């Protein structure tokens, strides 16, 4: 059974995020299962052969002659009982025999590459659900806990399950939310909302240095997660790192849309970003505003950059894109094979009808795409062992997701379907035709080695889309959000950069050949890059905002605590 810290790390790297997965419809799951059943029925002889092989494995298990053993790295079977107790050893071997039989059977089915990927993905979800560790009778660790606690672990597990049924819409909880309170022990950097519209708040953070760089930094967060991921704790706060480095720091806080606000589309979000940039410009007196953005916020920022270039508005300074894919390919991610044209049409239709996609529905869908990490781990921990889920700030933020406007979801699907960022002036969005080749801002792009949501090789493709002459690509050693939240002081931190300065290679593989590994956090490297593009130092402002944009509410603002 995974320990609390393992649970935290796994879930933190599987953060709900926008991408092609929003185009998966339940019909695509059903269709993939139907394909398996149809192929099975098409060749009874093949089915009989695999049934015979499976039967032989069963005989070996019953007679104690099976050599099937779990992968030593499979945390589900770490308890010594799986090795030394005959009952549990046989249980594990039965499960492994099913797993082996399913794998061999799929290998022989007459499927094309896409169908095979779909079949493998669906079968893995089914096999994971059948693991004996997911039940009390098949989990020796849970049985020991039951005996050691005198039955209290079972009672606590049932209480946890009841709470999830009543308060978490039937989904197993990934985090204990009780210890966290925004503004008190999470998102504590000093600042103030200096501008508010129906769609967003603009937060200005207080400088911590006597002098600041003249050109400010604006963060554009994803629309599906709240902005305080940038300020979870002082130890891993991007915002604190920015202000402590003399950067004038501003962050957009998107409002969680209600059903009536489901008409908000990419054009509205882009207009809001430009509006925020103009406010930052007015507050700081700078002609330029540097921007950083992650995940779907990076896609939004890229459209903002394209729109500004089309309008010949030179307000944008340097641009940083973190764990963001602009040139997706269907098989970049494990579940990509389930994305279909029909699925995307159905997803659009449902979004239009509902107005918004509810945050918990999105979270539920993502969890079932990685069930071992995001469901069964917590079923075992919370229900079978009767333990509380971990109290971890990244998980708290991840569980605090927002609704997604139906119109915006349609726009993200359009970006995926048309590969809009790879075209030059062919796809219209936000009142212009997207063309990144006209964007010449200095560019910093970050990927994560073990990122399952925005794979690093997919993020690297963005280096080939812009008209920028100065592009830096950095590869952080961790997964999705953990790649970003990798502050100085982390003993395991490392990153990769290109050895020789100059034009980046056209493929991720070629880039990797010319890289060097650097120990430590990538944050100081990025900060040096940002500071070089932030102008001269000036006296730090003594007050937040200005006469036109006066402080309204303390950071992190009202929209992050608003319930919808």
Per-residue pLDDT of the chain (564 residues; tens, 9 = 90+): 344 455 455 545 545 444 444 545 555 555 666 666 665 566 667 667 767 787 888 899 888 899 999 998 899 999 999 999 999 999 999 999 988 888 887 777 777 676 677 777 778 888 888 999 999 999 999 999 999 999 999 999 999 999 998 888 888 998 899 899 999 999 999 999 999 999 999 999 999 999 999 999 999 999 988 999 999 999 889 999 999 999 999 999 999 999 899 899 999 999 999 999 999 999 999 999 999 999 899 999 999 999 999 999 999 999 999 999 999 886 666 655 566 666 677 777 777 777 888 887 777 777 777 788 888 999 999 999 999 998 888 888 888 888 889 899 889 888 988 999 999 999 999 999 999 999 999 999 999 988 778 889 999 999 999 999 999 999 998 777 788 888 898 888 999 999 888 889 999 999 999 999 999 999 999 999 999 999 999 999 999 999 999 999 999 999 999 876
Helix 341-354 to helix 26-41 angle, to the nearest 10 degrees? 150
List of residues 6+ apart from 502 with CB closer than 8 A: none
Q: DSSP secondary-structure letter at 353?
A: H
CA distance 408 to 271: 13
Contact predicate 322/3, CB 8 Å: no
What pLDDT score was predicted for residue 28?
A: 59
Domain ranges in the chain are 4-152, 191-356+401-539
> Can you list the positions of beta strands (E) in 155-257?
191-196, 200-205, 211-213, 217-220, 249-254
Length of the chain: 564
What pLDDT score was predicted for residue 32?
A: 61
What pLDDT score was predicted for residue 1?
A: 39
Long-range contacts of 489-493 (CB under 8 A, 24+ apart): 489/235, 489/521, 490/520, 490/521, 493/519, 493/520, 493/521, 493/522
What pLDDT score was predicted for residue 496?
A: 94
CA distance 190 to 33: 52
What pLDDT score was predicted for residue 20?
A: 40
Contact predicate 21/339, CB 8 Å: yes
The residues pairing with 242 across neighbouring beta strands, listed in sequence order, are none
What pLDDT score was predicted for residue 343?
A: 67
- Phi, psi torsion values for 472, nearest 5 degrees: -115, 130
CA distance 273 to 279: 10
CA distance 202 to 194: 6
> Can you list the positions of beta strands (E) in 255-313?
289-294
Residue whose token pair is 């039965």? 94
What pLDDT score was predicted for residue 486?
A: 87
- Phi, psi torsion values for 192, nearest 5 degrees: -155, 145
- Phi, psi torsion values for 263, nearest 5 degrees: -85, -10
Determine if the peptide bond prior to 556 is cis (ω within 30°): yes
> Can you list the positions of beta strands (E) in 302-433?
316-322, 356-357, 404-405, 428-429, 432-433
What letters, b where the CB count within 10 A reaches 16 and e where it falls short, cover 496-526? bbbeeeeebbeebeebeeeeeeeebbbbebb
CATH superfamily of domain region 191-356+401-539: Alpha/Beta hydrolase fold, catalytic domain (3.40.50.1820)
* Catalytically active residues, by annotation: 295
Residue whose token pair is 């953060």? 15
The number of helices, as runs of H, and strands, as runs of E, in the chain is: 21, 16
What pLDDT score was predicted for residue 550?
A: 96
């Amino acid at each position: 059974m995974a320990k609390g810290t393992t649970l935290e790390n796994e879930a933190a790297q599987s953060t709900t995020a926008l991408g092609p997965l929003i185009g998966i419809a339940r019909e695509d799951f059903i269709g993939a299962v139907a394909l398996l059943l149809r192929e099975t029925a098409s060749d009874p002889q093949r089915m009989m052969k695999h049934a015979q092989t499976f039967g032989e494995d069963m005989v070996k298990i019953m007679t104690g002659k099976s050599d099937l053993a779990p992968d030593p790295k499979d945390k589900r079977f770490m308890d010594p009982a799986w090795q030394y107790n005959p009952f549990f050893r046989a249980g594990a071997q039965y499960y492994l025999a099913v797993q082996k039989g399913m794998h061999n059977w799929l290998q022989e089915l007459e499927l094309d590459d896409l169908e095979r990927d779909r079949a493998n993905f669906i079968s893995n979800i089914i096999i994971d659900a059948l693991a004996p560790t997911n039940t009390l009778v098949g989990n020796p660790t849970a049985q020991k806990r039951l005996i050691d606690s005198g039955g209290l672990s079972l009672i606590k597990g049932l209480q946890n399950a009841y709470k999830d049924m009543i308060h978490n819409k039937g989904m197993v909880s990934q985090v204990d939310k009780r210890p966290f309170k925004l503004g008190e022990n999470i998102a504590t950097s000093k600042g103030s909302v200096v501008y508010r519209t129906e769609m967003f708040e603009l937060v200005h953070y207080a400088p911590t240095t006597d002098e600041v760089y003249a050109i400010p930094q604006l963060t554009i967060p994803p629309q599906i997660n709240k902005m305080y991921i940038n300020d979870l704790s002082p130890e891993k706060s991007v915002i604190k790192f920015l202000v402590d480095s003399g950067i004038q720091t501003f962050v957009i806080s998107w409002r969680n849309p209600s059903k009536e606000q489901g008409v908000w589309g990419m054009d509205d979000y882009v207009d809001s970003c430009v509006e925020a940039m103009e406010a930052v410009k007015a507050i700081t007196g700078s002609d330029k505003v540097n921007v950083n953005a992650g995940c779907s916020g990076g896609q939004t920022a890229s459209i903002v950059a394209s729109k500004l270039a089309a309008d010949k508005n030179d307000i944008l300074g340097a641009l940083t894109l973190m764990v963001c894919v602009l040139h997706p390919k269907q098989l970049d991610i494990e579940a990509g094979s389930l994305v279909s044209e029909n699925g995307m049409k159905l997803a659009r239709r449902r979004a239009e009808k509902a107005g918004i996609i509810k945050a918990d529905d999105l979270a539920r869908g993502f969890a079932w795409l990685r069930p071992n990490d995001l469901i069964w781990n917590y079923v075992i921990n919370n229900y079978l062992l009767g333990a509380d889920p971990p109290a971890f700030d990244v998980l708290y933020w991840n569980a605090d997701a927002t609704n997604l406007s139906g119109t915006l979801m349609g726009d993200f699907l359009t970006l995926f379907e048309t590969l809009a960022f790879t075209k030059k002036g062919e796809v219209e969005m936000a009142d212009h035709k997207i063309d990144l080749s006209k964007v010449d801002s200095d560019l910093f792009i970050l990927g994560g080695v073990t990122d399952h949501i925005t794979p690093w090789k997919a993020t690297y493709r963005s280096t080939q889309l812009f008209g920028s002459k100065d592009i830096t690509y950095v590869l952080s050693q961790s997964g999705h959000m953990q790649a970003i939240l990798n502050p100085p002081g982390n003993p395991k931190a490392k990153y990769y950069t290109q050895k020789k300065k100059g034009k980046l290679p056209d493929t991720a593989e070629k880039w990797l050949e010319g890289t060097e590994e650097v120990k430590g956090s990538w944050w100081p490297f990025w900060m040096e890059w940002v500071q070089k593009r932030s102008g001269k130092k000036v006296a730090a402002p003594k007050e937040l905002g200005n006469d036109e944009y006066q402080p309204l509410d303390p950071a992190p603002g009202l929209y992050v605590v608003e319930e919808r």
